[in-house]
Structure 1
Amino acid sequence: MNQGWPAEAKTELDGWLLRRNRGVTLRANSVLPTSAPFDLGRALDYAENLYDAHGIRPSFQVSPAAQPTDLDDQLEARGYQVVNPTLVQCAEISDVLAKLPAETVEVNISSAPDDDWMDFWWRVDGKGGPDQKSVARQILNRSRALYAVMPSTGPVKAIGRLALVDDSAGLYCLAVDERFRRQGLALAVIRALLQEATTLGIHWAWLQVVAANEPAKALYDRLGFRTVSQYHYRVKG
């Protein structure tokens, strides 16, 4: 997942990866604590000072694999608040495709987000103005991915992104115009992206869904995605 949404700058700190991307998206501006530092107190101080120096609120992505194992408690004691509890789900692409309806609309697939794709995504899900949008586009362009736009001509109604990492693919940025929801457009986008991924030799997919997003969870459950892990952010209050 880290490779599917790469930050502009990364600092390694005794087993932690401190990601920075000018404050755009929490995923790219948080610590990924993959190993336990020798001196936890010093590591926390360093991380907080680094983020403060760049005008970014100190944040940690905490999963069951976070190190040290009591990191969540340590962060809570320092005044960090829980933000965005999220489920990580996986599925075999062939299983998902078997559950999806046949395509009835044409979906355009490309290897980079064009202006129409970016404008639509930022209008539906973006947080910030033109400067933040430009920074977000740089995040997308740092990793190999597929971009879906539906329909292939005319005003955009739905989009999606599939990050390609080794033999796996991560579903991101699935968005549908609110005027055209509940018409199967999201399913068409997912099918087109996953079908294209199979031509590249990719066999399984992952996604991240906010735990409170019941409609999205129900959709992914119907498609055969199963929760394999979870995480939340700890953000300094």
Structure 2
Amino acid sequence: MKPVSRFAKPAALDEIMSRGWRALEEEALDGWVARYSGGMTKRANSVLPLLAPEDTRLAIEAIEERYSSRGLPAIFQISPDAKPVDLDLLLAELGYVKDSPTVVQYLALSEPGPGTSSESDPRIHHADEPSQQWLETLWSVEGPHDLAGQTLSRSILARTPSSYVSLVVAGRIEAVARLARVGTIGGIYAVATREESRSRGHGRAIVQAVLIEAAARGLDGVWLQVVESNAVARKLYESLGFETISRYHYRVEPLSGS
């Protein structure tokens, strides 16, 4: 892992990132934060273990009961700063399945990355609210595809002040991204390019536009989260100057009888 930038520390980012994709409901439980959003994304339906509880096993049981009452499996987000330090091992012993290893990357905007430019791209459009076409572009790539899921998705997006960036060609949005603003830094979410419009540089252009937007708003830096196995996206972000500063994965409660 590369050295941590002095502009951001993983210990501070777990909670900050949670505010970039805020759950519809949050509950504090003995040092942990349980997040519920009807099952829409693991980020918004998992436990953020910020502090060690007095009794870890009892805390896990309480978590399982609360998620079960909502028809959801218990899911824990595990980073190097999860508490207690042996939580990942304990969950593994209980049969919790490891899922979605993810890297956290950061770019300090006082240190412009390669390939960024302040030149205006006429294809780029900015808004403080997502248009219906912006949402439909995101959902067409990443889902959800059902009305109930889309309603939840829209509600989660609205929970954090954000900028919605679109790349428009011939009147149609071809790529989108969201800049969530949390204090003095921002998080890049919902980067999506229509499948039929890929390999045209749209992904790079939309991320560059988000970085320009973040700088224009006076943010100190930007974080993003990318699935560890997504080599193409990681290569793009690293070419723009992002560095990996942390990692996390999920531990998902096993199905009954499995």
**TM class, shorter-chain normalised?**
over 0.9
* Kept after mapping to 2: 8 A contact 1:5/1:140: yes
Match of 1:5 in 2: 21
**Displacement of 1:104:** 4.5
Q: Alignment partner of 2:172: what SS?
A: coil
Q: Distance in 2 between matches of 1:198 and 1:104?
A: 16
TM-score normalised according to structure 1 size: 0.96
Distance 1:154 1:97, change over 3 A: farther
* Kept after mapping to 2: 8 A contact 1:103/1:188: no
CA offsets 1:68-114 (integer angstroms, 9 cap, x no match): 00000110111100000000000122544552365544211001111
1:107 matched to 2:120: no
* Kept after mapping to 2: 8 A contact 1:109/1:192: no
**Displacement of 1:127:** 3.2
1:124 matched to 2:107: no
CA offsets 1:103-133 (integer angstroms, 9 cap, x no match): 5442110011110011110110013411001
1:133 matched to 2:150: yes
1:31 matched to 2:47: yes
1:158 matched to 2:182: no
* Kept after mapping to 2: 8 A contact 1:176/1:186: yes
Match of 2:212 in 1: 195
Q: Give the letter aligned to residue 175 of structure 1.
A: A
- After the TM superposition, which of the residue ranges 175-184 and 26-35 deviates more from structure 2? 175-184
Match of 1:80 in 2: 96
Q: Alignment partner of 2:90: what SS?
A: helix
Q: Give the letter aligned to residue 188 of structure 2.
A: L
Q: Give the letter aligned to residue 27 of structure 2.
A: T
Match of 1:213 in 2: 230
**Displacement of 1:153:** 6.1
* Kept after mapping to 1: 8 A contact 2:20/2:180: yes
- After the TM superposition, which of the residue ranges 153-162 and 208-217 deviates more from structure 2? 153-162
Match of 2:200 in 1: 183
* Kept after mapping to 1: 8 A contact 2:114/2:241: no
Q: Alignment partner of 2:18: what SS?
A: coil
Match of 2:86 in 1: 70
Q: Distance in 1 between matches of 2:26 and 2:174?
A: 35
Aligned length: 237
Match of 1:43 in 2: 59
Distance 1:128 1:72, change over 3 A: farther
Give the fraction of aligned pairs with identical amino acids, expressed as a percent: 38
List gaps (5 residues or longer) in structure 2: 1-16
CA offsets 1:174-225 (integer angstroms, 9 cap, x no match): 1111222121112221222221222221121100010000100111111111
TM-score normalised according to structure 2 size: 0.88
Q: Alignment partner of 1:151: what SS?
A: strand
* Kept after mapping to 2: 8 A contact 1:83/1:234: yes
* Kept after mapping to 2: 8 A contact 1:107/1:152: no
List gaps (5 residues or longer) in structure 1: none
